[in-house]
Amino acid sequence: MSTLPTTLNVPADASSLPMTLPRLLEKKRLGEPIVMVTAYDHPSARAAERAGVDLVLMGDSGAMTVLGYDSTVTVELDELLVLARATRRGLTTPFLVGDLPFGSYEISDEQAITTAMRFVKEAGCDAVKLEGGGETSVARARAIVRAGIPVMGHVGLTPQTSTALGGYKAQGRTAQTGVRIAHEALALQEAGCFSIVFEAIPSALAAEIMPLMTIPVIGIGAGPAVDGQVLVFHDLLGIREGLGARFVKRYAHLLDEMVAGVAAYADDVRERRYPGPEHGYSIDEAELRELRAALTPPV
């Protein structure tokens, strides 16, 4: 019987190779920060690809950032599959994780497996993510893993069930809720999840849990002690209105530039500055004479 190596031999130019689960574990072992970002379509996927991120989450947050819903709860599975397929077409090296929408996995193990398989078969995702660390979510994660599909867990603030958590606010700020989050993370790890997202929990709580975690932990508002970080594409690039959550750091303000660009275009059109001669196509003068003759009505 063969045994798996304890270390992974990765070539010097590993950044050009597709990300894999063994490589993610190796990054955790070596203490190399893991970079994750959301993407919801081909352009955002191409940006993530060219930036060299490790993981891309086709998140259900696309319901709000791309589809215009007020929350992630109302988005349909088929809508997210369309976004996931577009994202897949833009990626080569990052590991793609598809977010299972609310109502697509909670009813039964069979439903969860069927939904996960659609993300893999129809959209080309490498793995799926589900929210929560309660008994139901743990059971569904275990079932999907047993069906051969990698699963990423998600504890802390879970937007799909934010109403039950008291809204979009930090979780685990008491000893009791902190212990619950720790137990949920460990239960998901035991269920076979390859990674877990910690969202909006105190940095100190994440630091206390980390020694217990043998799988990569990706934080979003969970401090620096975790193995990697994730931000929403539209948040970090400023392609949205409002300030966003406390943990958001904006690296660009693209919405302002988009508005300015469209406004400048509209102004050029209204003032007849666009299109100019350089934006048009020419026709041979002889062809133009023939065209005019053909269009001239007979006397």
Q: Is the pLDDT of residue 32 over 90?
A: yes
Q: Give dist(CA 127, CA 115) in Å, integer.
A: 12
Please say whether the beta carbons of 81 and 121 come within 8 A: no
> What's the residue count for the chain?
299
Which whole number is the average pLDDT over 143-163? 90
Nearest to residue 57, comparing CAs of 123, 140, 115?
Answer: 123
Instruction: Write out pLDDT tens, residues 264-298.
Output: 999 999 999 999 999 999 999 999 999 999 998 88
pLDDT at res. 168: 65
Q: How confident is the model at residue 164 (pLDDT cuts 50, 70, 90)?
A: low
Is 233 exposed, middle or buried (CB count within 10 Å of its CB: 0-12, 13-18, 19+)? buried
**Is the CB of residue 34 less than 8 Å from the CB of residue 196?**
no
What pLDDT shows up at residue 107? 96
Catalytic one among 49, 76, 199, 290? Answer: 199
Tokens of 96: 């793609």
199 part of the active site: yes
**Residues 153, 184: Cα–Cα separation, whole Å:** 9
Read off the pTM: 0.90
The full set of domain ranges for the chain reads 16-256
Tokens 């269920």: give the residue: 191
pLDDT score, position 5: 45
- Name the CATH topology of 16-256: TIM Barrel (3.20.20)
Rounded percentage of the chain residues whose pLDDT exceeds 90: 86
pLDDT at 3 over 90: no
Q: How confident is the model at residue 4 (pLDDT cuts 50, 70, 90)?
A: very low
pLDDT digits (tens, 9 = 90+) for 217-250: 999 999 999 999 999 999 999 998 877 788 999 9
Tokens at residue 207, please? 């630091």
165 has pLDDT over 50 = yes
Residue-wise pLDDT for 171-195, tens only, equals 999 999 999 999 999 999 999 999 9
pLDDT of the residue at 243: 73
- Positions of E strands within the chain: 34-38, 55-58, 95-99, 127-129, 151-156, 195-199, 217-220, 228-231
Question: Which residues, other chains included, contact 90 with Cβ-Cβ below 8 Å and sequence gap of 6+?
Answer: 39, 41, 42, 43, 44, 45, 46, 48, 49
